[in-house]
Chain A
Amino acid sequence: MLEIRGITKKFGDILAVDDVSLRIEPGQMVGIIGRSGAGKSTLLRLINRLIDPSAGKISFCGCEITHLRGRELRLWRASCAMIFQQFNLVERMDVLTNVLIGRVAHQGFLSSMVLHFSELDRARAVRALERVDLLPQALQRAGTLSGGQQQRVAIAKALVQNPKILLADEPIASLDPANAARVMETLKAINREDGITVLVNLHTLDTARSYCERIVAMREGKVHFDGAAEELTQARVREIYGTDGLEAEVDERVTSTAIPLSRPRQPARTEAA
């Protein structure tokens, strides 16, 4: 279980994340929503320890991770795989090597300098690539793939890390609707089949509703809503996003990038505008 207690992150005078506490049960798929700058990204980075918190604690299965250093810290990062909006692949390297980078935390120093990976690691990478349907592209340069394919390479890389948690930071924000659906389906499958906890930042509300059993909404660094998708009413949505003087309601169809037909229908979508 991932437990976040009173985590706070300041950048200068700006409070990016303000006293956030969350308990996330193993195997949950949690969607984190909110406006740009609400602190969603910062929260995921804090969990992966790409950045250090100004205050508060994060623990995983009773093990405190806020003060890990050196090798322990790197192993923690490996066990909570991170997926980025811009994929963050090494575009000049082939797809297979990019996936194998998921094993760096377990690779010897000299092997890493000469790009040597064990047969076992290679087998893991091949299996992961097969799972995201990209094995035929394994020897292509990552930069030559489309955005959706690159994001699936990033997912394969996350899989070979053998993670306990998967953190996805706006994974579909720069993808077209078809690719976005495919990436979200893959994340959902990993969550369901492997029992890996998935925390995903999203800016499209309906995607969060379709794929996530639990939704956490952030506003100005604070958690503003935490509950099941169906509890997120139109009034709550207005509170979270604010309408900035706009008279109109927040219409999920306007921001939606999903393709209605290919989307699994959720029974409890009664209040959707």
Chain B
Amino acid sequence: MSSTDISPASHQFEADYAAHRRRARRVQAVSVLAFAVAFLATARMGGFFDVSEVTLPSGERVTAWRLWAGLPRLGEYLYKTLPVLRWDSLGTDLADWFWRWQTWLRLLLETILIAYMATALGVVGAFILSFPASRNLAPSRLVLNLTRRYLEIVRTVPELVWALIFVFCFGVGPLAGVLAIGLHTTGALGKLYSEANENIDMRPVEGVKASGGDWFRQIRYGVVPQVIPNVISYTLLRFEINVRASSIIGFVGAGGLGQEIRVAMSLQEYTDLSALFLIIFATVIVMDFLSEKLRHRIIGISGKGL
């Protein structure tokens, strides 16, 4: 086909297309460069390129890349946490390893209950506040900004800091932990819920409004049925996160297994640490498994509309 067959319109298109491709490639190049620069800068700041003085077993001092030099120490630490288990005295060795199992089991139960209660409280607050915090649903700009700022504040402050404050207010114990994790959950879930709200189809909402529904009924009929599967999914994911959070929150005296971890660390009881770690690990796996099962079940059921 000779070039004379190309119509002026398709000629113009070819030129536009080439320009479009050039622009896209330029944007791509700039973004890759920006990403690489930011990555290298943060790695530098994080000490990834640092070197340190190391003493070799022979007594010789050399400078080595810090990351490389420190790696063996990780193995050393993990080795210290290994209990002595012998085949012929396995029962007593295990009993030795989990010597405080009664306290630990009680604290494990406390840990799960803290997570449960905190999630329940957090969900109520987050669910209610997520509607005024959604750009498409907020009754006014003022309400939108107030609820958004509130949710930002409560989720920006880490759970451990809230726990410190609440231990100061309400004393040592699980109450402080529940409040701390619950408050943080409100902030985190409120954000996720409101994002789900912002992605809904607004036509049903308009349909309810046109029938004479006020703001609350527009939310109840037009919005809630659309977001319920997301809400359940986010809530169960949050519960898993909260089990982890409540297992360390005891560090500052807010109940749960964390206080035992802290004691074991400060007394350098390495085998206690590995025992506690195993307990938490097993719990988290079981919780993740159960909540995933539940999530799938409920999403199937909620097809009925709630």
Contacts and interface: CB of A to CB of B under 8 A. Distances in A.
Interface of A: 48, 50, 74-78, 81-82, 84, 86-94, 97, 101-102, 104-105, 107, 109, 112-113, 115, 141, 154, 157, 161
Given A75-B212, A104-B221, A88 B305 contact: no
Contacts of A112: 213, 216-217, 220-221
A94 B304 CA distance: 7
B287 to A, nearest CB: 29
Interface string B198-209: 000001101111
Interface of B: 203-204, 206-214, 216-217, 220-222, 225-226, 228, 303-305
Given A78-B211, A92-B303, A101 B226 contact: no
Contacts of A141: 303-305
Nearest to B207: A88
A146 B220 CA distance: 25
Contacts of B225: 90, 92-93
A132 B203 CA distance: 22
The 6 closest A-B pairs by CB, nearest first: A105-B212, A88-B207, A78-B212, A74-B212, A82-B210, A93-B305
Given A81-B211, A92-B228, 10 more contacts: A77-B210, A89-B204, A90-B204, A90-B226, A94-B304, A97-B305, A104-B221, A105-B211, A141-B305, A161-B212
Contacts of A88: 203-204, 206-207, 210
Contacts of A109: 216
Contacts of B222: 90
A74 B210 contact: no
B203 A93 contact: no
Nearest to A85: B203
A221 B207 CA distance: 24
B211 A102 contact: yes
A68 to B, nearest CB: 11
Contacts of B213: 74, 101, 104-105, 112
Contacts of A107: 217
Contact of B207 (A78, A92, A97, A101): A101
A162 B287 CA distance: 51
Contact of A77 (B209, B216, B305): B209
A77 B221 contact: no
B305 A94 contact: yes
A86 B203 contact: yes
B135 to A, nearest CB: 19
Among B203, B212, B217, residue most surrounded by chain A Cβ atoms (within 10 Å): B212
B210 A48 contact: yes
A161 B207 CA distance: 12
A84 B211 CA distance: 12
Contacts of B204: 88-91
Nearest to B201: A91
30 contacts: A50-B210, A76-B212, A77-B210, A77-B211, A77-B212, A78-B212, A84-B203, A84-B206, A84-B210, A86-B203, A87-B203, A88-B203, A90-B204, A90-B225, A90-B305, A91-B204, A92-B226, A92-B303, A93-B225, A94-B304, A97-B305, A101-B207, A101-B208, A101-B221, A104-B208, A105-B212, A105-B213, A112-B220, A112-B221, A113-B216
A86 B203 CA distance: 8
A116 B303 CA distance: 19
Contacts of A91: 204
A157 B211 CA distance: 9
B216 to A, nearest CB: 7
Contacts of B214: 74
A138 to B, nearest CB: 13
Contact of A50 (B209, B221, B226, B305): B209
B246 to A, nearest CB: 31
Contacts of A78: 211-212
Given A74-B212, A82-B210, A104 B305 contact: no
